[in-house]
A = this chain, B = another copy of it.
Amino acid sequence: MDTPSIRSVLADGEVGARVTIEGWLRSARHSKGLSFLDVTDGSSMAGLQVVAPGELDNYDPEVRGLGTGAAVRVRGELVESPGKGQRVELRAQELEVVGDAADDYPLQKKRHSFEYLRTIAHLRPRTNTLAAVFRVRNVAARAIHRFFQERGFVWLHTPILTGADAEGAGELFEIEGGEAFFGRPTRLTVSGQLEAEIGALALRNVYAFGPTFRAENSNTSRHLAEFWMVEPEMAFCDLRGDTELAEAFLREVLTAILEECGEDMAFFDERIEKGVVASLEHIVKTPFEHMTYTEAVQRLEQSGEDFEHLVSWGADLQSEHERWLTETLVQKPLVVTDYPSAIKAFYMYANDDGRTVRAMDVLVPRIGEIVGGSQREHRHDVLAEKMKAQGLDLEEYGWYLELRRFGSVPHAGFGLGFERLVQFATGMANIRDVIPFPRVPGYAEF
């Protein structure tokens, strides 16, 4: 706690200054009577080069025997670095080995496959790539809070355990003995939205940002059983206001990543996904395009493309359609609005045309849908009718309907999968590599 971070030494350390740093060896090169140690403490992609001379009391055999992974505390003087790409290096005057690394330390200085790293989730945050991912993740999360807090939104902790009916949101994790404990079958939440509506109808603007769950047995690079969701909800707000917020939100969070994670983003651009930085910069600078679902379907039908899935009004857009719209047709982020009611949830506001609802999806190049939102149905009788038509238990949803009897107002919100965002920002291919402890079928260690 008392020593400066390596990030700050690299940025601000003055030549001639005496400093003490602590960290782990990313690599060690020992030549005759001189050792070069690349020391990191996880605060930055670049490590600090430590030059340890043979004159150190413990040079032989201790320092000379140091290998990757060992923890050290080094006191010395910052000197100009002759090396390329580093301003200063540390000439050691004292070097304490705080913790050695056993010879079978798995993270030697070579590339490991991400699959392999997933099997050592307790060590992988020490790799360049995963440490960079978790730093970007942190900056994204911080930017999300900042975005909402600056606008007066209240962070509302919606419940994880819930006895509420599941509005057909897919497979749920059930709690063993939940009924005995809570008096009703209890599941892990799939979304904080309905509870966020409670908050919005009291505090006006709120957001949930917490873990959500799906028990789907999907062994893909895009699914997690446990993931974090961002879900703002605004009272006195319609679909237009909702869309404006989503655009400003994406722009601000991606800007924060570009500005605050320059070093890490350069790494991702070079090693993980060429062009990822340019693609984020493009999104940040470009006004989003808007189009109704009906127009999108027309464009797709006229495209002459040979899609795998048929395009027709009333069917949900598939990933290939979404990507064609945003990547080929408009070549920028695209907000698609007013989807057919039949393919959207019961709580979305019914348009006057009788067949569409005020839903919106934000599509971005490379991944397609990144945000999904809607204006909520705030008219009591319309909502009750829709719920009946979908066979929902009105009693079970009594509280949700009651919100529409007491000072009901137009309100709207959206949901964003946080890991999807981090995956998009970093270009990481597998969503399991953007969350510290992925939960997927067959895997929940730790």
A4 → chain B closest CB, angstroms = 10
Answer whether A407 and B101 are a contact pair too, CB < 8 Å, given A134-B154, A446-B162. yes
A42 → chain B closest CB, angstroms = 4
Closest B residue, CB atoms, query A21: B236
Chain A, residues 160-199, CB within 8 Å of chain B (1/0): the string is 1111100000000111111001111010100000110011
Residues of B close to A213: CB separation below 8 A: 160-161
How big is chain A's contact interface, by range?
35 or more
A342 at interface by CB-CB < 8 Å: no
Closest B residue, CB atoms, query A138: B154
A69 at interface by CB-CB < 8 Å: yes
Answer whether A407 and B43 are a contact pair too, CB < 8 Å, given A122-B198, A125-B198, A244-B1. no
Which residue of B5, B99, B204 contacts A152 across the interface (Cβ within 8 Å)?
Answer: B5
Q: How many of these chains are in the complex?
A: 2
CA distance A442 to B181 in the complex (A): 6
A157 at interface by CB-CB < 8 Å: yes
Residues of B close to A91: CB separation below 8 A: none
Report the 8 A-B pairs with minimum CB-CB distance, sorted nearest first.
Answer: A42-B203, A125-B202, A182-B444, A99-B408, A71-B407, A122-B399, A159-B437, A163-B444
A324 at interface by CB-CB < 8 Å: no
A308 at interface by CB-CB < 8 Å: no
Q: Is there an interface contact between B234 and A195, defined as CB atoms closer than 8 Å?
A: no
Interchain residue pairs with CB less than 8 A apart (8): A123-B202, A138-B156, A142-B149, A142-B155, A159-B446, A160-B226, A161-B173, A195-B436
